[in-house]
Structure 1
């Protein structure tokens, strides 16, 4: 069964210039690079895109730019996460006006969570007032609440427009519960924790959302295809390589700064992160550059031998 949301869908960065405006030219070039190298979708205005550090106008601008540049060639998921249901609905209304068709929705955050039911009500209200597809996005490190498998499944059956689940909770057992429920349905189940991703795809997951996919698009696509095709030995090779590439995100105090610098080595964007985040140090840049070259060489070796 072919699903709309599957494969490698990167949480794309938000490149900025020296005045912290979106670098339209660099971003457009990066999107083209991602699509030309086989990535299966774009997740704009997510955590890796520093979405809550952008102004509202910037968020709307980068979503608009994404939709115009992608032109329907791959699916675009837009982050609309916010601190209340009304805010999320307003964000989705803006997305609809731009022509967007899919929104990633988290629980609300910066709040005292008292139950799982509040997030179910959150989705119920959004569905009554908007028309786009919705992706359930479980990311407790930023929302302060981990959605259980049971909650995810209750939300998934609210409406046919709830089309996918992105799990960044790290609770692999709960992820497998959701996967076993929806593996043979149009509902997509995607892993958001990269070290768990290939094992999840081997077990039937529809794809994953790796921060470094724009830095190594062919590697991630090849790894996904190996796992999707149940080539266990090749998947093991790629899993070792992806685990090694994930070390890049821990080579600075700020994983976003690490990701932005690594992706900048492709030549499309600057390494800048939005103030006042910690930036990358000169010696850290050199370490990431070496790791980047090591990963690229290892990928070429694997690809040449398979």
Structure 2
């Protein structure tokens, strides 16, 4: 089976209106902008998309809009993570009715995890109750559990589990997965942008950068150079992406900084969902200045490569 969910697949933000409902017009423009600029896929309703801050109705609506707007042009991954196996199964069943998308699943959260086997059983039960492709999502700060490489290898044997997104930041564990799954159809994505260059050079299938919609060119280039094993050009792209990543800590909330930066595309408002700390005017000015600096760096990068 050919790998489907590969490349640069950003965890897309969810534009919302003053009532904290999905801004459909702005969201559609953002998705098409990504696809038109070469982004390889869309990850909707992830943590960057404020999935758990949205109501269930609006979360489902965001996923449905993303699948519809993508229209089969690129694959869609959708977050169905929740606080129990039954709730995830219900989310996944609704996802199946919306169209073709992979279900992205974390360990359950707001739980006192006793063992890694809880999450293995979690995926086993979900697999028995869905026909959708399933992707493992390891994000310890939000779930309270860090999945080990050994656990990923166990879960990967479960029917319908096709890939893994690692945002644990534990590179040695990710390297174990890269080694174990080398030459197979199992997809490995790096979720930590600062580890993406090394991951691509070592054989990862892609990565999940939240700023890719704003600056798609260096992100796509790093993926392509990394897949070719071109160390020098991969690292040159990584230097640019590291500079882009300095936007995040300008505000108290990474969601607020990301959303404001992407709102500069002109498609939607910078609004975050309550009670997230909103961006301040001085922070906006600093991000504006940083974006202009990055544009110059990218222009210089193009000249060098021309």
- Corresponding residue number in structure 2 for 1:94: 94
Distance of 2:39 and 2:117 partners within structure 1 = 35
- Corresponding residue number in structure 2 for 1:61: 61
- Corresponding residue number in structure 1 for 2:298: 299
Correspondence 1:170-209 to 2 at 5 A: 170-209=169-208
Q: For residues 206-265 of structure 1, what are the alpha-carbon distances to aligned partners after superposition, in whole Å with 9 as ceiling and x for unaligned?
A: 110011111111221112112112221111111111111111111100000000011111
- Corresponding residue number in structure 1 for 2:263: 264
TM-score normalised per structure 1: 0.98
Distance of 1:232 and 1:190 partners within structure 2 = 19
- Corresponding residue number in structure 2 for 1:18: 18
Distance of 2:30 and 2:89 partners within structure 1 = 29
**Counterpart check, 1:76 vs 2:76:** yes
Assess if the C-alpha contact under 8 Å between 1:252 and 1:258 holds in 2: yes
- Corresponding residue number in structure 2 for 1:253: 252
Q: For residues 95-114 of structure 1, what are the alpha-carbon distances to aligned partners after superposition, in whole Å with 9 as ceiling and x for unaligned?
A: 01111331000000001100
Distance of 1:9 and 1:240 partners within structure 2 = 19
Distance of 2:298 and 2:141 partners within structure 1 = 31
Distance of 1:2 and 1:198 partners within structure 2 = 23
**Counterpart check, 1:278 vs 2:281:** no
- Corresponding residue number in structure 1 for 2:129: 129
Runs of 4+ in 1 over 6 A off after TM superposition: none
Rate the CA distance shift 1:229–1:2 in 2: closer, same or farther, 3 A: farther
Distance of 2:113 and 2:277 partners within structure 1 = 29
Matched position secondary structure for 1:305: helix
Assess if the C-alpha contact under 8 Å between 1:183 and 1:189 holds in 2: no
Give the count of matched residue pairs.
305
Q: For structure 1, list consecutive stretches of 5 or more residues without a partner in the other structure.
A: none
Correspondence 1:160-179 to 2 at 5 A: 161-179=160-178
Q: For structure 2, list consecutive stretches of 5 or more residues without a partner in the other structure.
A: none
Distance of 2:215 and 2:253 partners within structure 1 = 20
Matched position secondary structure for 2:47: coil
Q: Deviation of residue 5 (structure 1)?
A: 1.2
Assess if the C-alpha contact under 8 Å between 1:183 and 1:205 holds in 2: no
